[in-house]
Structures are given as structure tokens and as C-alpha cells.
């Protein structure tokens, strides 16, 4: 066989193999491996966002654990769909890529593709804070970053990444915004006990010493 033809066949097979693996990505099966994300996974299925994710080749999912979903679980399903669509970034971000951010970046979400996003609702602001901390928030003007990065959950470079964030991100205009909890009240450190006197003074002041 012609060497060039042979090389072309190998490249074609490789591209096909990669394509099949990406297209067969099942976010439901993936998130089922993590008990803390079962509630989030269920909402992705109910809102049919899982189906939209399956057709994407490059995404980052901002997942929220079961204990932090209460603020959106009781909302109308169409509102939940909009909120969770904003948790699917149409680009790949893992810890390595996040650490390269100089300050902040605006990223596009699945909600932007719906055609109903207004005034930046379909974009998120990702900010690199001091101390290797990262925060996410709506890119709508005046919105504040509300969700902190908790940990990296899963990565398949450079196609799929799952990052756990501290709370749901609700863009203004989609529904009631969930603000981050206030910091705990400042508690001053306990006062240090007075320094004890030297052992020699203790001996000199003890009864019977002459």
C-alpha cells in the first residue's frame, strides 16, 4: 500500500475514534459516580440539559452538590433550565487552565445559545483571586461573583471538565438571585494568660524560706 495512503487511513481512523468517544459522552452516567452530585444530575435530566450536553464536544460543567441545591429545586422547571444552562461553559477549563488566568475572563454558556439570553445573561465572569481561589458569577452588569470553586471533579482534556462550585449562579432577570452567605462574625483570639514569675521568685516567696 502507498505509504501516504496508509498514513491517511490511520489519521482518519484516529479522528473517527476520537469523534465517537466525544459524541458518546454521557454526563448522566458520569455524574452518577459522585453521590454528592446526584441532585444536580437529576435536574440536568429533568430539564433535558443532559441531552444538549451530549451533543457538545468541548464543555465545562459547574456542578453544585446536593446540600447547596435547595435555593433552586422548588422553582419552576423552565426557570431551573435557564439557571442550569448557565452552568455549562462552552469551553474547556480545568485547574491547569484556571491557574493561567491573569485576573478574570468572560466565558460563554449554553444559555447564550438559546437565543433568549438578555444583557449578558448567557455569559459568566471567572475571576482568579489571590491564594489560588476562583470565583464565578453572572456577567450581567452589576452582578457580583457568588460561587467559589470547591474542587475539580473530573477532566477529559480537552473535551469535558466538571468543576464543583459552592452554590447555584442565578443571572439577574432569570430569577431571584442567590447571594453568598455572609462571612462568620469576627471572633477575637483568646487573651493570653499573664506570664508566670520565675521559679527562683516562687521559691523565695514560699513559706519557710530563709
Q: What is the pLDDT of residues 28-38, one digit of tens each?
A: 999 999 999 99
- Is the omega angle on the peptide bond into residue 158 within 30 degrees of 0, that is, cis? yes
Give the tens place of pLDDT for each residue, 50-60: 999 998 999 99
Q: What are the extents of the domains in the chain?
A: 16-172
Q: For residue range 163-196, what is the model confidence (pLDDT) as tens digits?
A: 999 999 999 999 999 998 776 666 667 767 766 6
The pTM assigned to this predicted structure is 0.78
Terminal-residue alpha carbon distance, the chain: 111
Please give the order of strands across the beta sheet that includes 147-156.
Answer: 88-89, 59-64, 160-165, 147-156, 133-138, 123-129, 104-108
Report domain 16-172's class: mainly beta
CA distance 113 to 60: 15
Amino acid at each position: 500500500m502507498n505509504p501516504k495512503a496508509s498514513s491517511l487511513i490511520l489519521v482518519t481512523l484516529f479522528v473517527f475514534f476520537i469523534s465517537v468517544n466525544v459524541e458518546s459522552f454521557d454526563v448522566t452516567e458520569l455524574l452518577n459516580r459522585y453521590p454528592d452530585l446526584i441532585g444536580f444530575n437529576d435536574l440536568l435530566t429533568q430539564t433535558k440539559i443532559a441531552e444538549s450536553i451530549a451533543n457538545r464536544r468541548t464543555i465545562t460543567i459547574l456542578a453544585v452538590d446536593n446540600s447547596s441545591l435547595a435555593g433552586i429545586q422548588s422553582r419552576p422547571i423552565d426557570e431551573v433550565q435557564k439557571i442550569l444552562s448557565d452552568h455549562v461553559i462552552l469551553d474547556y477549563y480545568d485547574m491547569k487552565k484556571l491557574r493561567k488566568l491573569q485576573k478574570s475572563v468572560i466565558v460563554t454558556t449554553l444559555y447564550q445559545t438559546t437565543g433568549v439570553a438578555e444583557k449578558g445573561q448567557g455569559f459568566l465572569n471567572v475571576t482568579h483571586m489571590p491564594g489560588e481561589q476562583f470565583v464565578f458569577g453572572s456577567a450581567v452588569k452589576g452582578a457580583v461573583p457568588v460561587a467559589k470553586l470547591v474542587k475539580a471533579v473530573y477532566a477529559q482534556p480537552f473535551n469535558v471538565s466538571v468543576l464543583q462550585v459552592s452554590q447555584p449562579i442565578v443571572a439577574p432577570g432569570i430569577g431571584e438571585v442567590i447571594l453568598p452567605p455572609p462571612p462568620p462574625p469576627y471572633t477575637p483570639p483568646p487573651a493570653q494568660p499573664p506570664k508566670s514569675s520565675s521559679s527562683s521568685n516562687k521559691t523565695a516567696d514560699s513559706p519557710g524560706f530563709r
